[in-house]
Structure 1
């Protein structure tokens, strides 16, 4: 019985099945997905249906593309030109899939396996315990009656830094941005959300979140979101899993028990990243 953590699938269903065949994924195994289950790839609907069918064998955190799909579903934003979500929106099981998706967490911490996972990472000024509490604030709203209001107020880059005195939608927005959109930040946790390249593109005064002095060092952290890293983070116990399948690179899985990595090549049309 093994647990495999995968980077961003983004609707690349055929590549997902190919990778699972490569690792001989069985009914006794489990999957962890580091967010961005959907969008830009050609088969987001098939991906959602398959992952949902795994029931308790899948553990997925929400990524920014997953939240965007939910916002479109609730009519709080429009599809972008690069979106590939229409098949989901036209599906007869749309509501069932969207209800399943919004019940997924922003952060997973498994004491038995000894790993934590968030789509973008954990901000350096938060301990793991603190991050769990903040994630729970957003998860409660997503799963409740105010979900539509959340998506109406989700978008935006401000506030760009956490303060415990923040309230309302500003508070929930910055928590969401940390856990689903963060790449570069400064020592105080101020987010720089415009730069999306590799470490050579580091803006002045900022570093990758995992290169700042961090409080959440209790256990290894798994994250996706940052395809330009090509699956490599420069610090121990921080594991980048997004290897850019949707950009025509690879889909990668890491077996958590021994950290062995497996990949398959992805011949998918590249699109500009956003």
Structure 2
């Protein structure tokens, strides 16, 4: 029960591994990472003290949990490879974009499958992880929730919303960072050195998100606290809206959503 194998040591895999290795659920020695890249394996072994392997068959033996953290185009190959040695009591946890539980069960019909979508905030224990499973996986679902609670916030959702969750939660990291970059560039244009602009913009972003998270308020309520009649804040906000800020963000989110629904 306390052994887990992660297949895939890329950026997302490393983030999950980092969070799990520092949790009290798994000891580092009971976490095995499988990857074809010797560089990826060397990095996670040296930094996190987890076990590593390039032998996928050996790595999934005698473990309860197997996290599939590979690209969608790699999934069929991986499932074909592990199918002969999987036992029915092993639980598959899939982070694979665009692949449903039913599609995975076509390869491994006797295994329970839980879909999760964390983001790279997992490496700082700040992930937003959305989780979906079938009705017959309630007991295992509770454990997976606890597992991913160690690396941030979790939310159990209907599987039909997993694509949307990937865009909002995982791609969303990149969306917010692009806005952050723009804020830094504006700061530089006003006269700050780049590192100064970054310090100010980053801390401001953390503060803004924390206000909404901890106060439980709508963003507009917090905006109202900052804007004053005929002030510089409302002037800037209105100009951003005139230039299509909200519309551009929504269009970008929906473009990602349309794209993800074509990925197989």
TM over 0.5: no
Larger radius of gyration: 2
TM-score by length of 2: 0.31
**Using CA pairs below 8 Å that are at least 6 residues apart, which structure has the higher relative contact order?**
1
TM-score by length of 1: 0.30
- In proportion to residue count, which structure has more helix? 2
